[in-house]
A and B are shown apart, each in its own frame.
Chain A
Amino acid sequence: MDAPDLTELINTEQSKLSADQQHDVEAVYQQLKQIARVQRFKISNHGLNTTSLVNEAWLKTHSGNKTFNDRRHFFAYCALAMRHILLDQARRNKLLTYVDDERTLDGQPVYRQSDFLLDLERQLVRLGAYSKRLEQIFTMKFYGEMTFDDIADYLDVSRRTVVRDWKKAQAMLSVALGAPDR
């Protein structure tokens, strides 16, 4: 999987992946989930450290994996996977606030956070339309917690560019999220 393909992936149907890639998608999802569950016990109530999550996943996936030929490649993919997983969960939670007549759900943190991620996703897709690289960098940094160096290596650009683009993306998304556009 080449770098540019990764960004494409976020907005394409999974059926467009090759059979091997689909298999890996499944594997990564499952691994992330399993590792996260174990880590939750370790890290108590402070949320998850996705970096350690992805690192551990890499260690477990590394041997014998053919489609991910290096670590950064894998991390980039994990960032996307994380974005998918969280989005999916957010959608479900949002759904519950629809179908459940108990309006009390709305105020709960999980639902508030879901709303935020759904809004973010909408704007991130728009940002991708504006600039693919900004979307990629934001995804890797925010969802994958990749280091600037890893991102720079992976995209084959300078660290400086990555840092600048990260700032740009944050600024742009902040404006977008603050500006009611619907």
Chain B
Amino acid sequence: MTDLEQIWKAIDEKFDRDEEAEIEHPLKLPDHVADAAAELLAATFSDDDLPPDLQHSKYVIRERLNTGGQSEIYLAERSDGVYRKTVVIKIMSRRHELEAMREAFMREMQLLADLTHPGIVQIIDGGVSDDAQPWLVLEYIEGQELSAYCKENAPDARAIVELFLKICEALRFVHLQGVVHKDLKAANVMIRVINGVPWPVIIDFGIALEAAVRKTDPDAPVFGTRGYSAPEQISGEAVDHRADIYSLGMMLAQVLAGDSVDNIGLLSARERESLLKSKGISNDLVQVIRNCTREAPGSRYQDVEALRTDLHHWLNDYPLAANRSRAFHVLAKTVRRHKLITAASLLVVVAAIASTYKYTTDVRELQQITRTEKNAGDALFNFMLTDLFDDLTRIGRVDLLRLTAERSLSRLNEQDPRTFNASSWLQSALAYINAGKVFDALEASKEALDAYAKAEQQIAQIADAPDLRREYLRTLASVNVLKSLTLTTDEQRAQMESSLHTAIDLSESLIADYPDESPDTLWEAHLQLGWHYMEYDEPGQALAHLDQAQEIAAAQVSSHEQRERHARWQANLSHSLQALAWYAFDYGQPEDAASAIDRAVELARNTLVEDDGDIEFLDNYRILLNHQSFISVDLGRVRSAEESVTEAIRVGEQLALMAPTNRKYQRELSYSHTTRGELAESQGDLQTALAHYQQSLAISRSIASDDPDGFSSANDLAIDLISSANVLSALGFSEEAEAQWAEAVRVMRPVHQSEPGNKYYSFSLAVPLIQLGEYEEAQPLIESIRGSGMDDDVFQTLLSDHGLD
């Protein structure tokens, strides 16, 4: 019992004994309120005419707002004599020692007052009264609380996420100032609608203020809101900005769940997620919430920026960054480990990613794509278009990347260059290059060239960036080589040459400035120029560049000890020798051609030993074997040609198992079979010849059925049908032979009609027509074949057999 209560008890008893008792030293209390507080009474019941006393105040209290919390909140008008402004006056709970508190409160209040942001309520004034009463004057936000707004307007998940992006923006600003809100919940976010657009405003930094003050009073209880406050805050541990991320995640869950639950934060994570999913909330968004509301702060999004990025990604249907790093890390690692095995399973992933991509043209949103998001997005695309490109090239399914490349481009086109720094430009250039490579692989030359031109524009932006000089030279050189690979028509000849010369110049200065730079691009440019000059019949020029390419590759082979690079340069050297072999074949001694191709095959075989199972090296080896057998046939070395082609078939079958869908590999294998068949036929071994022709035919059939509009696929099929039919006929199977000739005619007629000037197609149609005795239809074709270089001995023999010469 307090002293006062003891006194009261004494008074009580005294009056009970004596009704007329007098109290020692009583204070006189007025009998009526009208006596005690006449002025106040008058003021209370006055209308809006302020009594003279109150006119001294610059505030007029309008009404007391309903408050569930520990503080009193009033709506007031502030007038400085010039203009009136509605404000909110908030009297905070009082439970601290005055002096200790005042300093901390004022310091924190100053910090909050400095947070000038449209998404944060503005503190206008504040202080601590003489009797330790903290108070604040705040900007009045005209609008609804977030939950009331959502109830009334029923925004869909996208609109809600857009609101949360704005909240993130404001909260990021708060965190940057080192302030943690500590009491984020739907009730502490107001929605101010401006021109029909809702703008969230974070209000009530009361707990943040409390927390600052509480440091002076370590035993004070910890406040927050059950369900919304992070576990570490509830348990009274130190909190940082990640506690706000927890609350924000919970708030997002609550708003998405709507009225179906009072406080979603009180549910278990499992209940929460199944509730959200039952409301039709997408898995990715549930994942975002999960990443916000993990128990351990270290497992959550580490800052608002990361959360904002993922919300943004969700809005644009990109994969989430939080998942991406892990999933793609694992994928990339697996690919590196088991290049072949995973390539096929990767297809599933790529297809899944590609099909979920969707783009928005919302310009306003795109302007908000920050540099971070851009780089993260570009990095993802670059991953898909480089690592996956390489792997898909190996198995011949680059077509899967077309959609990705197109989307990468449209994404790049939508980026706001005003936000770019030097590395952003570089990143964009690489993205354009990658997309270009995909288009080139898919024979979409125009798209590829457009992409390369864009890449050059991006690179030009960093021409003067001193710390990116190396990347500038390297990227520009490589884009020039890539361009040249796409420039294949006669009209583009000059352009192609100049690209390659530019690439050589750039690469040379690159290597001069940075001697440790690998000469890949320089080597490739020389090799390509060599092929180019051979194609345009300039042997002198061709040889000069081919020699350069060979020298570079040979030097690299002898200088590289590391296995992978060593194998790569051996492969490059084999490419150089292959080109030199064809040079010798066309312009020099066939013997030299044979020795060059033999060395190339030898090197290619070495690469297989050094990098066991690399499909690209295996394919290179097989192609060289095919070429070796071709050159051997030309030199009349039948035995050696047979050995080469038999090995080529063995390797080809191995490749077919590894990459069953790679059409290029199939064609090459079919070519080996045809060569092997021809060798057998020339030696009179018709059974062996027929077997190989039919193997080749089976492959051609399958390619043609996959590519029904491809003229060259049709032509390959027709040639195989003719070869097979010729042998069948010689073996006496005339019915089967006629059926195949007839099929060849059916295949070639439409092709010939589409391209009547093509001598190969005319040939492939003429031969079966002659064999079938359709001389009338064959006659004009025979005329066009004569003098075209196609009328070889075999054709002449055919004509004379049929009496047509």
What residues make up the interface of A, taking CB atoms closer than 8 Å to B?
32-33, 36-37, 40, 45-50, 82, 85-86, 88-93, 95-100, 102, 104-105, 108-111, 113-114, 116-117, 120, 126-127, 130-131, 141-143, 145, 160, 163-164, 167-168, 170-179, 181
Among B5, B59, B127, which residue has its beta carbon within 8 angstroms of that of A130? B5
Question: Does the CB pair A89–B44 fall under 8 Å?
Answer: yes
If A99-B135, A168-B11, A174-B26 touch, whether A40 touches B4 (CB-CB below 8 Å) is: no
In the bound assembly, the distance between CA atoms of A174 and B4 in angstroms comes to 11
Residues of B within 8 A of A49 (CB): 34
Interface size class of B (residues with CB under 8 A): 35 or more
Question: Does the CB pair B15–A91 fall under 8 Å?
Answer: no
Query: In whole Å, how far is B797's beta carbon from the nearest beta carbon of chain A?
Result: 110
Question: Does the CB pair B2–A95 fall under 8 Å?
Answer: no
Q: Chain A binding site: helix, strand, loop or mixed by DSSP?
A: helix
Q: Chain B binding site: helix, strand, loop or mixed by DSSP?
A: mixed
Residues of A within 8 A of B89 (CB): 95, 99
Residues of A within 8 A of B15 (CB): 164, 167-168, 171
Query: In whole Å, how far is B29's beta carbon from the nearest beta carbon of chain A?
Result: 5
Query: In whole Å, how far is A40's beta carbon from the nearest beta carbon of chain B?
Result: 6
Residues of B within 8 A of A108 (CB): 53, 56
> Which of B45, B89, B125 has the most A CB atoms < 10 Å from its CB?
B45
Query: In whole Å, how far is B15's beta carbon from the nearest beta carbon of chain A?
Result: 5
Query: In whole Å, how far is B369's beta carbon from the nearest beta carbon of chain A?
Result: 43
Closest A residue by C-beta to B16: A164
Question: Does the CB pair A130–B8 fall under 8 Å?
Answer: yes
Residues of B within 8 A of A141 (CB): 31
Residues of B within 8 A of A177 (CB): 27, 29
- Residue B46 is within 8 A (CB to CB) of chain A in the complex: yes
- Residue B266 is within 8 A (CB to CB) of chain A in the complex: no
Residues of A within 8 A of B463 (CB): none
- Residue B435 is within 8 A (CB to CB) of chain A in the complex: no
Closest B residue by C-beta to A85: B44
Residues of A within 8 A of B59 (CB): 96, 99-100
- Residue B19 is within 8 A (CB to CB) of chain A in the complex: yes
- A-B pairs, top 5 by smallest CB distance, nearest first, are A47-B38, A36-B45, A174-B27, A113-B37, A108-B53
- Residue B51 is within 8 A (CB to CB) of chain A in the complex: yes
Closest A residue by C-beta to B51: A110
In the bound assembly, the distance between CA atoms of A44 and B196 in angstroms comes to 51
Residues of A within 8 A of B135 (CB): 95, 98-99
Question: Does the CB pair B41–A47 fall under 8 Å?
Answer: yes
If A37-B45, A98-B91, A170-B29 touch, whether A110 touches B57 (CB-CB below 8 Å) is: no
If A98-B135, A171-B23 touch, whether A89 touches B40 (CB-CB below 8 Å) is: yes
Residues of A within 8 A of B735 (CB): none
User: Which residues in window 105-149 of B have CB below 8 A to A?
Assistant: 125, 127, 129, 133, 135, 137
Question: Does the CB pair A47–B42 fall under 8 Å?
Answer: yes
Question: Does the CB pair B4–A126 fall under 8 Å?
Answer: yes
Residues of A within 8 A of B31 (CB): 141-142
- Residue B54 is within 8 A (CB to CB) of chain A in the complex: yes
Residues of B within 8 A of A110 (CB): 39-40, 43, 51, 53-54
Residues of B within 8 A of A168 (CB): 11-12, 15
In the bound assembly, the distance between CA atoms of A27 and B84 in angstroms comes to 31
If A37-B46, A92-B61 touch, whether A175 touches B32 (CB-CB below 8 Å) is: no
